[in-house]
Amino acid sequence: MNKKYEYIIIGQGLAGSAMAWRLYFNNKSFIIIDSQAKFSASKAALGIYNPITGRKNIKTWNAETLFKELGTFYKKVEKSLEIKILYEKDIYRPFNNNKDVNDWDTRLGNNKYKKYLKKIDKNGIITKGSGYLDVKKYLKETKKYFECQGRYKINNIKNEDLVNKNNNIVIEGYNFEKIVMCRGINEKKMNLFSEIPLTPVAGNSIKIKSNHFSDYILNKGVSVFNITKKKLFAGSTYDNGYINEGTSHLKKKIKKVINKEFKSLKSYFGIRPASRDRRPLVGKHDVIDNLYLINGLGSKGVSQSPYCSKELFDYIENNKKINKEINIDRFKS
Ligand SMILES: Cc1cc2nc3c(=O)[nH]c(=O)nc-3n(C[C@H](O)[C@H](O)[C@H](O)COP(=O)(O)OP(=O)(O)OC[C@H]3O[C@@H](n4cnc5c(N)ncnc54)[C@H](O)[C@@H]3O)c2cc1C
């Protein structure tokens, strides 16, 4: 007789890991199954969380709620794993031109931006409320932790493994009540949630060795930060589709920003699962009663996954409504 679980989570990127920890903190039984995909988005992620993002430097959606949840959540994970994974770091954004200066002047007239200002001078601005998650360590240690408890299996769950029995998914060899799909961009090919507009956004990041040292995350078209005195993490590129465009463009940008020689140590490639309206995709399948989804984390998996796991958990276990801006019902015809 197979052991019975309340939940099965398919996929252990940022989405699946957040759901697993959410269930763990709430004493629910679960098992994670992951296929160890080579190009998962999470494996390439720089791990930055940042309340003011994008080319236009606008305040990120739902920043207050997301960032409050992020702090509480990862600190709880750190306590369970007895390791450090979350690092606060301010962001230094050098100005490119007078337009940048004027744009920041306008933004700072608004209280929602002012509270993130640390320092400004004629060369650039330092903003606060940001930092990074050591995603690689988080994923690795999460896997190890749950593996030791018998809550983790390596397997590729294909559509033919999913059998519909009275509008419920069953998988041979597993006994569970609910299934949460966290398969990143692979979900698009599986087509279980066919109405949901998932789009692939490929990207590169790179670890480098250099004498450049800064306490800040340096952001100028590219983000660069020290993970040790001589090692830095830098990225990212954004290319619609699945193609790996390589790191040469990224390297040119890094050279321009740090203005120092550097040596590449390791490059990463991944495909972000993005949604049409750039909001996460969370909810329950239209027809299948025990099938749920967390996806569409786009370029903000670190800050959005803890919140999404909370919204889904509260919906399933506490009868709360999912925020309609992230609920997959918004795409139902
Ligand atoms: C270059 C780059 C830089 C980035 N930088 C940042 C950043 O600084 N900050 C930030 O917040 N976000 C960043 N992101 C975005 C972030 O990586 C994504 O938002 C996030 O990783 C998405 O997580 P996910 O769990 O949905 O998907 P994924 O990370 O793709 O995980 C999906 C998981 O599902 C598993 N899986 C897939 N199919 C199956 C199957 N059939 N059976 C079993 N398992 C399966 C895979 O093995 C994988 O582990 C970056 C992304 C890239 C590519």
Segment 9-31, tens digit of pLDDT:
999 999 999 999 999 999 999 99
Least confident of 47-56, 146-155, 222-231: 47-56
Q: d(Cα 150, Cα 145) in Å, to the nearest integer?
A: 9
Question: Roughly what angle, to the nearest 10 degrees, separates helices 135-148 and 63-81?
Answer: 50
Residues with CB under 6 A from ligand 1: 10-16, 33-37, 40-42, 44-49, 156-157, 182-186, 203-205, 235-236, 270, 272-273, 295, 297-303
Phi then psi dihedrals of residue 242, to 5 deg: -110, -5
Burial class (CB within 10 angstroms; exposed 0-12, middle 13-18, buried 19+) of 202: buried
How many Å lie between the centroid of ligand 1 and the Cα of residue 42?
4
Give the three-state DSSP class for 19: helix
Q: Give the Cα separation of 151 and 179 in Å (integer).
A: 14
The rounded Å distance from CA 11 to ligand 1 centre is 9
> Closest Cα partner for 253 from 289, 200, 206, 298?
206
As a whole number, the mean pLDDT across the chain is 95
Q: Topology of domain 4-52+135-196+276-331, per CATH?
A: FAD/NAD(P)-binding domain (3.50.50)
Q: What is the dihedral of CA 209, 246, 184, 223, to 10 degrees?
A: 40
In tens, the pLDDT along 246-304 reads: 999 999 999 999 999 999 999 999 999 999 999 999 999 999 999 999 999 999 999 99
Average pLDDT over residues 301-317: 98
Rounded to two decimals, the pTM is: 0.97
CB neighbours of residue 135 within 10 Å:
23
Tokens of 322: 């999912």
Quickly tell me which residue has 């209280």 as its tokens: 111
**Length of the chain, in residues:** 333
Question: Among the atoms of ligand 1, which is closest to the Cα of residue 46?
Answer: 8
For ligand 1, atom 33, the nearest C-alpha belongs to: 11
